[in-house]
Structure formats: structure tokens, C-alpha cells
Structure 1
Amino acid sequence: MSPPAISQQRDSARAGIAAQQGQKQPTAPDTTPKPPMSPRRAFLTSLVIPGYAQTVFGRDRAAMLFAVIEIGSIGMARKAAQDLQEAIGLPRDSVVASYKIDPNTGLAIIDPKTGLAVPDTYIASRFTDDRIKARRTHYEDWIAAIIFNHLFSGADAYVAANLWDFKANIGVVATPRSAGVYASLRLR
């Protein structure tokens, strides 16, 4: 086979199909709107900071809900931790209920060594083992609420990232006679 002669014409059936070597075909610009955050990043950021990714997607009410739940749960967990530490620290403590009284004077008998009134009866500590266990459970419940809030916020952000361009509105309506669910979808 001999090489093609310069004077030969190209096959008209293949004209314009093959690009000349060294030249790239111009590509059309990508006009597809991109989400402000990937689903993975949305999940991870809202997992660490509940409600953060929701603000990126314009879901301010959901973000506020997760933030309020987080702050409330942290406050209650702190209070439960203080109650637990109080119960652990005072399991065998008691309170003086009454002092020994001198029958002649009607005054409390004073200990000559300490100079303090001599106790007669005591009230046992209110922090029994059952109460310590209940306070520990209470503390663990608030920690579980915090963890649940983080996970649920992350899952909500993941779904919001996947449906970021889906403009649907779903809600609940209450009327004097009944309750109902409505849904609206905006078509472009």
C-alpha cells in the first residue's frame, strides 16, 4: 500500500468526524447548578456542629431547632452530672436531727472538749445506692440525647444536601374539625 498522495481528496463520508490531532473539541460550559455542600461534608459538619449544614442550605428553622436541643441537652447533662457528683460524694453523710438536752436547764448539752452541742439523733443520708444509680442513669440519658441530636442533625443535613434543589413543601394543618397533611411542589 502506498501513502496517500497530496492531491487526493478526503473521504466525504468521514469529513468532520475525526478531530485533527493536537486540537481539542470545544466543550460546552457546565450550567448544571451545584449544591453548596456535598452530602458527605454536610453530614460530617452537622455531625460535629448540629445545625451548621442546615444554615448553608437555607434551612434556618431546622438549624435553630438542632442548636436549641443541643444547648438544652448540654445544660441538662451538666446539671445531672452535678447531681450525680453530689450523690457520690455524700453517700454516708448524715444530718443531726436533735441534740441532747439537759433536763434541768432545757438547754443543749455542750461537749467540754469541742465546745459544740452533743448530737442525739441523726437523719441518714438521702443518697442511697438506688438514688445514685438513678442519678447516673439520668446523666447517661442526657448524654444519649446529645449523641442522638448530633446523629439526627447529620442525617437531616445529608438528606438536605441530596434534595437541595427539590423545592417541595410538606406540612401539617390543623382545623377546628380535623387535622390534615398538605404537600405542594413548585415546578419550574
Structure 2
Amino acid sequence: MVQIRCLVFLFAALVLAPTLAAQQTPPAAAPADTTEGAGVVSPRGAFIRSLILPGWGQSVVGAPGRGGVYFALESTSLWMLYRTQQRLSAARSEERFLRENRLLGPQEQFALVNAREEQRQDWLVLSVFWLFFAGADAFVAAHLRDFDQRVVLAPEPGGALRLQATVPLVRRR
């Protein structure tokens, strides 16, 4: 009985589908210029992009070199976090071996395990720091994207840096 109902439903759908498709109205015309503002990333968008993938926010804003640096820093921190976790597992198995062979008492602490746990915590905190620092840098870079080009930081012949700002003075008449 259920199969017959399904067949009737499918047959009705096949018969009625062309008529229903013909009744659809064409979509409304799109506005003439839909690309206005395309490619401009908001500061919040740059921040979120940089949180998703460190360096992405900087690359979108126009600073791919800085983006690459943040990606490398975050990747290195995460790699070291992974390596420290592996070393912590090895230290715990060594501690287990020492306890099983009664070379380490039940109340004694294996110093290597404590050191590895602290290292893991340090790398985790550093990874989170680089993540949010990259996000903050992308946020600021998006705000300063349209900064006035009349402010220039230029090297001098002696190796020093010179900060130069030019302000146009307009006479009022």
C-alpha cells in the first residue's frame, strides 16, 4: 500500500512539474553595479580571518609579508606544542616504567613530567598569544589601510630613520 502511494506521488510530481515550472516568474533584474565596495575588508572581517588562519587578515588588507610572518610564528608555536605533547607522553611512560619497577616511590614526583607539562602550557599560551596578536594586527591594518600617504618613515644616509609628515596649508580667501 505504501509503495502504491509513493508511485502515485512520483507520477503526480512528474506530470505537474513542467506546469509548475512554467508558472515561475523571472527573477528581478540585478542592480547595475553590484561590485561597488567589493574587495574592501572591514576591520572585524580582517580580525576574524586572521583568527581562522593567521596571516590571512594581513594578506587581504595588503600586507602579505606580515601575514607570512604571523603564519610562520603560529605554525612554529603549534609544532612545538605538538612536539612537547609527544615528549610529555614519553616522560609519562618513563615514569610509569619507573613506578612499575619500584625505582620511583608512590609519593615521589618525576621532575621530567612536571617540566614537560610546564613547557606544554608555555607553548599553548604562546600559540594563543600569536593568534590574537595577529588578529589585532589585522584589525589595525584594516583601519589604517586608507591612512594618509603624506606621513612617511624614510631612512636617512646615516642609517637612522626619519618620520616625516607634510600638512597642506590652504589660504582662506
Judge same fold: TM > 0.5, yes or no: yes
Query: Which residue identity lines up with residue 145 of structure 1 in the other structure?
Result: L
Amino acid at match of 2:110: D
Which of residues 154, 161, 167 is equivalent to 2:142?
161
- Kindly report structure 1 stretches of 4+ aligned residues shifted beyond 2 Å: 32-35, 167-175, 179-188
Q: 1:57 to 1:68 in 2, by over 3 A?
A: same
Cα 1:35/1:158, change in 2 over 3 Å? farther
State whether residues 35 and 161 of structure 1, in contact with CA within 8 Å, keep that contact through their aligned partners in structure 2: no
Unaligned runs of 5+ in 2: 1-35, 169-173
Relative to structure 1, the CA distance from residue 63 to residue 174 in structure 2 (aligned partners, 3 Å threshold; closer, same or farther) is farther
RMSD (CA atoms) = 3.5
User: What CA deviation, in whole Å up to 9, does each residue of 1:109-153 have, x standing for no partner?
Assistant: xxxxxxxxxxxxx9x57xx52221110010111111110111001
Rounded to whole Å, the distance in 2 between the matches of 1:84 and 1:74 is 15
**TM-superposed deviation, 1:183:** 2.5
Contact 2:46/2:61 (<8 A) preserved = no
Residue 82 of structure 1: which of 81, 86, 91 is its match?
Answer: 86
Q: Residues 53 and 80 from structure 1, CA distance in 2 versus in 1: closer, same or farther, beyond 3 angstroms?
A: same
Please state how far the C-alpha of 1:88 moved relative to its aligned partner. Answer: 1.2
Distance 1:73 1:187, change over 3 A: farther
Pick the structure with greater CA Rg: 1
Please, what TM-score do these two structures have when normalized by structure 2? 0.60
1:182 deviation in Å? 2.9
| Structure 2 counterpart of 1:65, one-letter code | V
Would the alpha carbon gap of residues 130 and 70 (structure 1) be closer, same or farther in structure 2, given more than 3 Å must change? Answer: same
The structure with the greater share of residues assigned to helix is 2
Over 3 Å counting, the alpha-carbon distance change for 1:81 and 1:186 in structure 2 is farther
Letter aligned with residue 84 of structure 1: L
Q: Give the length in aligned residue pairs.
A: 126
> CA distance change for structure 1 residues 184 and 36 in 2, over 3 Å: closer, same or farther?
farther
| CA distance, structure 1, for counterparts of residue 166 and residue 89 of structure 2 | 55
Rounded to whole Å, the distance in 1 between the matches of 2:67 and 2:145 is 15
Which amino acid is 1:157 matched to? A
Cα 1:156–1:35 change in 2 (3 A) is farther
